[in-house]
Amino acid sequence: MRRPLTLTVLLASALVLGPAACGGAPESDSAAGGDKKITVYSGRSESLVKPLLERFSQESGITVEARYGNTAAMAGQLLEEGDRSPADAFFAQDAGALGAVAKQGMFAPLPDDLTGKVPETYRAGSKEWVGVTARSRVLVYNPDLVQEADLPASVFDLTKPEWKGKVGVAPTNASFQAFVTAIRVQHGEEKAKEFLTGLQANEPQIREGNGPILEEVDGGKIAIGLINHYYLGELAKERGTTPDTLKAKLHFFPGGDTGALVNVAGVGVLKKAAEDPDVRAFVTYLLGADAQKYFAEQTYEYPVVDGVAPPAFVPPLDQLTAPDVDLNDLDELEATIALIKESGLVP
Amino acid sequence: MRTRTRRPLLLALSVVTVAVALVPVAYLTVRTAEAGWARIAEEVLTVRTARLAVLTVGLAAVVTAACTVLGVASAFLVVRTDLPGRRLFAVLAALPLAVPTYIAAFAWRSSVDGFEGFWAAALVLTLCSYPYVFLPVAAALVNADPSQQEVSRSLGRSAWRTFTGVTLRQIRPAYAGGALLVALYVLSDFGAVSIVRADTFTRAVFVAFDLGFDRTGALVLSTVLVVLTMLVLAGETVTRRRGARYAHLGGTRRTAARQRLGRARWPAAAALAVLAGLALGVTALSLGLRMLQGVSRPGAWAEVAAAMGNSLWLSLAGAALTMALALPLGLLTAKAPGPVATVLDRLAYVSHALPGVVIGLSLVSFGVTLAYPLYQTTWLLALGYAALFLPLALAAVAGAAAQAPPVLEDVARSLGRGPVAVLRTVTLPLVLPGIGAGAALVFLTCMKELPATLLLRPTGVDTLATELWTHTTVAAYAAAAPYAALLVLLSSVPAWLLTARTGILTAETSR
């Protein structure tokens, strides 16, 4: 019989390679604090965050146990875990997820010397989370298909007939949803509903995420699309080139238009780790010049701390005319979701 | 009467198995109850839910029908005809099992403009799932007693009428079991439907999570999936007929004479080649292109090797635990059939159609509240895999046990052997190949699983699937491609073992 032998070989090789996976039971150690070890739940991609965490560990001597996952599922995991969560800090992709966890009272307020580093616009009023980097909503366009002069002045123009079938949208994406909440906050329910209904009636090109929209705009398959600014940097990096050599160009809606909403990725500290100096060192590091520079260069986001240069292919943060929307108001999600569902943009 | 003495133990162990399978359902029930009736009504009693239900059931029906036709046809061509290149086609027909639907859908979507919607999802899911029907049917065709067909032909029935009247009846348990797995898989699939934007319940569940972190809404919607699953299971149980069981033990095994295809020989081979090209070629080409176009690279080879080791180890743990849990219940349904066994068996299927993220969260909740020492260890993840994939193992064990005629055990008992000796010398040897097949299938399915793995894995442990996901979320496709290729390559080993087990490859040489 050859089969058992093959199975044995498979089994043996797994046993040899396997021990790497033998994670021990979770350690809820940090209540004591100061043991040079922290656990971070990261809703941000491992390939972006891991190198930074390694640098932090090298410099501080603090070991970081990092758990990576989808931001939304990870927020769900934290809520399930409640008080027994092994996590000390949650590094999330968007303010909405941080807000959902904060709402359950799981975060401890951050000390003023940390929150003070970040402009008020980019942190929780309750100080339960703080923005680490900022990202702007933009309109990406293909100059072969749309002249710069013809670009819409406002995101609300996208419901007009001239854009029928031409707009790429990712309605299941959390950043799209934050944008819709911003419309509600800035202009009211009626306007938001009208916009979504108009957008859906205009036969948008719906995609699963911002990445595919950008690729298709760059490839000339879609004329324009609503995405976040840093995707241009990511695509250029994958192609081994710089953003300015890509076909796709970015258009920042002017004059405080909701279409130019600036949102954040940020971090919150779990209650049990409120006093842990290692966790505080970690948050301090994220807001330090080194980490901020890393984000600007590697993830193409805006630094939120003074004195660090933004990525080269976008105008600096203070020159953007972001809409006057308080990020703390973006946790009113239920009505937004109801509107998006009602519009028929998502199943 | 036979084997009554063994039942209490089997029954007790089977109850444990079912308890594991029901952890997610218990969690859903608790959370849904917490949501309150008003919220449930608001979420479920809507036009949207009705629309999703119709689309989901429709997709499951279309894919199941297509997989049954493709699976039975290709198995018949490979096993029972003089098709050229039969062995190659047998292996090619099993290999799509190694391709995760999210990779296949991504490849199709980036290769074909406007590839989206219901029919796009149906195509990808069919191409990825027809091996679930092909494998058991091929095995059944190899093992089926040819004398019945010979009698039918000698009595003057045509080849076609013999096929529909005799052969199809003989292999009914095989294709019905495979079709059931396909239907439940379609209900649970997230990868393909999200990428090609086909509206189904599972996609709505994931969207609810992503959009506004709406855990309650997602979980309430999931209960509808449980109801749909129960309807599918009930339907399958009602239409199930019990046939007599035949087996060849020892002696020589006879395979039916191959039918001559004549002029249809090459067209048939061409059709199978096209099928393999669609199921495997498109994905391979697209991955290759991505790899050449991008400049991102995976981390050090040590990282790739670690991810591979982790994938193997976690999947092995998952497969081992799943098989250990499946064995008693599989034996019970085969050896002591009856209403109790049927109900237990069906209950073990209920979680199979739930989205991985729901299974993941339910075990997070279970681990945190009831099994904290296990939380974020390999074993809780293995338990999650077991809750998800028990049906794959059960189908294999029950299928193998059902081919062992009970009379053999009765004879052994009547000749004075004790129950343990009978189990060891008669039952296990007969069921062992089934266990191997089930383990291989569970193993490769664990390797492809993503949402539950992300939620339950030990902190800091990366697998091929999680690395693939990590890189694609930041558009680093070239860095992701080696992980995808390794995932498919490693999965093709168990897929190949499964093909070999059907006996197609060896039946060829004995001819």
CATH code of A77's domain: 3.40.190.10
Q: Which residue has the higher pLDDT, B326 or B492?
A: B326
Indicate yes or no: CB of A76 within 8 angstroms of CB of B209. Answer: yes
Q: Are residues A233 and A306 in the same domain?
A: no
Phi, psi of A87 (to 5 degrees): -75, 145
Instruction: Looking at the structure, tell me whether residues A221 and A290 fall in a common domain.
Output: no
Q: Do B460 and A66 touch (CB under 8 A)?
A: yes
Say whether residue A219 is in contact with chain B using an 8 A CB cutoff: no
- B397 and B31 in contact (C-beta within 8 Å)? no
Q: Is residue B13 situated within a structural domain?
A: no
Residue A54 and residue A97 share a domain? yes
pLDDT tens digits, residue range B75-113? 999 988 888 888 889 889 988 988 889 889 888 988 888
Is B1's pLDDT higher than 50? no
Residues of A in contact with B203 (CB under 8 A): 347
Q: What is the mean pLDDT of chain B?
A: 84
Print the domain residue range for B224: 18-240+270-509
pLDDT-derived band at B241 (thresholds 50, 70, 90) equals low
For residues B293-308, give the mean pLDDT. 80
The verdict on B478 touching A (C-beta cutoff 8 Å) is: yes
Chain A interface includes B460 (CB < 8 A): yes
Residue A17: inside a domain: no
Judgement on whether residues A244 and A148 belong to the same structural domain of the protein: yes
Residues of B in contact with A208 (CB under 8 A): 194-195, 197
In this structure, what CATH number is given to the domain that contains residue B408? 1.10.3720.10
Least confident of A162-176, B92-106, B224-238, B407-421: B407-421
Residue B283 has pLDDT above 80, yes or no: yes
Is there a contact between B308 and A17 if contact means CB atoms under 8 Å apart? Answer: yes
Q: Is A9 on the interface with B (CB under 8 A)?
A: no
pLDDT for res B408: 76
Comparing alpha-carbon positions, the chain A residue that sits nearest to B440 is: A7
Per-state percent for chain B, helix, strand, coil, to nearest 5: 80, 0, 20
In a domain, residue B265? The reply is no
Q: Does A15 map to a domain?
A: no
Q: Which residues from A are below 8 Å from B452, CB to CB?
A: none
For A105, phi then psi, to 5°, come to 70, 30
Q: How many Å apart are CA A11 and CA B426, to the nearest integer? A: 26
What is the rounded distance in angstroms from the CA atom of residue A177 to the CA atom of residue B173? 48
Q: Give the whole-angstrom CA distance, residue A92 versus residue B132.
A: 39
Among B298-302, B378-382, B439-443, which stretch is predicted with the lowest mean pLDDT? B298-302
Distance CA B260, CA B419 (A): 47
What's residue B403's pLDDT?
Answer: 64
Domain presence at residue B416: yes
Residue B270, judged by CB atoms within 10 A of its CB (0-12, 13-18, 19+), counts as exposed
Interface ipTM above 0.90: no
Asked if B67 reaches chain A (Cβ–Cβ under 8 Å), the answer is no
B296 neighbourhood in chain A, CB within 8 Å: 237-238
- pLDDT surpassing 70 at residue B246: no
Same domain, residue pair A239 and A332: yes
A13–B312 C-beta distance less than 8 A:
yes
Q: Is A330 part of any domain?
A: yes
Q: What are phi and psi of A97, to 5 degrees?
A: -65, -40
Per the CB < 8 A criterion, the answer to whether A264 and A95 are in contact is: yes
Residue B467 lies inside a defined structural domain of this protein: yes
Report the C-alpha gap between B235 and B230 in whole angstroms: 8
> What whole-number distance in Å separates Cα of residue A309 and Cα of residue A297?
9
Total number of domains in chain B? 1
Q: What are the φ and ψ backbone dihedral angles of A131, each rounded to 5 degrees?
A: -70, 145
CB-CB under 8 Å, A346 with B475: no
Q: How confident is the model at residue B389 (pLDDT cuts 50, 70, 90)?
A: very high
| Contact at CB, B458 and A24, closer than 8 angstroms | yes
Max avg pLDDT among A307-311, B123-127, B234-238: B123-127
- The verdict on A239 touching B (C-beta cutoff 8 Å) is yes
Q: What's the rounded mean pLDDT across residues B482-504?
A: 83
pLDDT of residue A99: 86
The answer as to whether A74 is a domain residue is yes
User: Are A59 and A74 part of one and the same domain?
Assistant: yes
- Checking if the pLDDT of B242 tops 60, the result is no
- Domain tally for chain A? 2
In a shared domain, residues A188 and A94: no
Out of B172-181, B233-242, B454-463, least confident range: B233-242
3 state DSSP class of B261: coil
Residue numbers of chain A with a pLDDT score lower than 50: 1-31
Q: What is residue B240's predicted lDDT score, i.e. its pLDDT? A: 67
A307 inside 8 A of chain B by CB: no
Amino acid at residue number B453: T
Query: What is the residue range of A243's domain?
Result: 135-262+324-343
Residue B11 in domain: no
Q: Are residues A130 and A81 in the same domain?
A: yes
Q: Measured between alpha carbons, how far is residue A334 from residues A8, A174, A183, A327, B217 in Å?
A: 53, 13, 14, 16, 10
Q: Which residue of B has its CA nearest to A22?
A: B378
**Hey, is the C-beta of A206 within 8 angstroms of any chain B C-beta?**
yes
Do A118 and A140 lie in a common domain?
A: no
Is residue B18 within 8 Å of B198, Cβ to Cβ?
no
Same structural domain, A85 and A187: no
pLDDT tens track for B438-484: 888 899 899 999 889 988 999 889 999 988 888 877 777 788 888 88
Angle between helices B282-293 and B477-501 (to 10 degrees): 150
| Per-residue pLDDT reduced to its tens digit, B32-71 | 888 888 888 887 888 888 888 899 999 999 999 999 999 9
**Is B253 inside a domain boundary?**
no
Residue A301 lies in a domain: yes
Q: Which residue of B has its CA nearest to A46?
A: B470
* Statement to judge: residues A328 and A179 lie in one domain: yes
Q: What residue of B is the nearest CA neighbor of A300?
A: B474
User: How confident is residue B507, by pLDDT bands cut at 50, 70 and 90?
Assistant: low
Do the domain assignments include residue A208?
yes
Alpha-carbon gap, residue B429 to B414, rounded angstroms: 19
> What mean pLDDT comes out for the span B382-408?
82
**CB-neighbour burial class of residue B145 (10 A; exposed 0-12, middle 13-18, buried 19+):** middle
Q: Is the dihedral of CA B277, B278, B280, B286 positive or negative?
A: positive
Distance from CA of A174 to the nearest CA of B (A): 6
Residues A121 and A139 in one domain: no
> pLDDT at position B256, please?
66
Q: Is residue B447 part of a domain?
A: yes
With a CB-CB cutoff of 8 Å, which residues 96-115 of chain A face chain B?
Answer: 96-97, 100
Average pLDDT over residues B328-347: 85
Task: Determine the residue among A37, A40, A68, A222 to mutate to test chain B binding: the one whose Cβ has the most chain B Cβ atoms within 10 Å.
Answer: A68
- The pLDDT, as a whole number, for residue B253 is 56
Query: Which tops the pLDDT comparison, B345 or B2?
Result: B345
**In a mutagenesis test of the B interface, which of A11, A46, A196, A331 is the best target, namely the one with the most B β-carbons within 10 Å?**
A46
In tens, the pLDDT along B327-337 reads 889 888 877 77
Give me B13's structure tokens.
């162990």
Look at residue B250 in the predicted model and tell me its pLDDT.
Answer: 44
Which residue in this structure is represented by tokens 């004549």?
B262
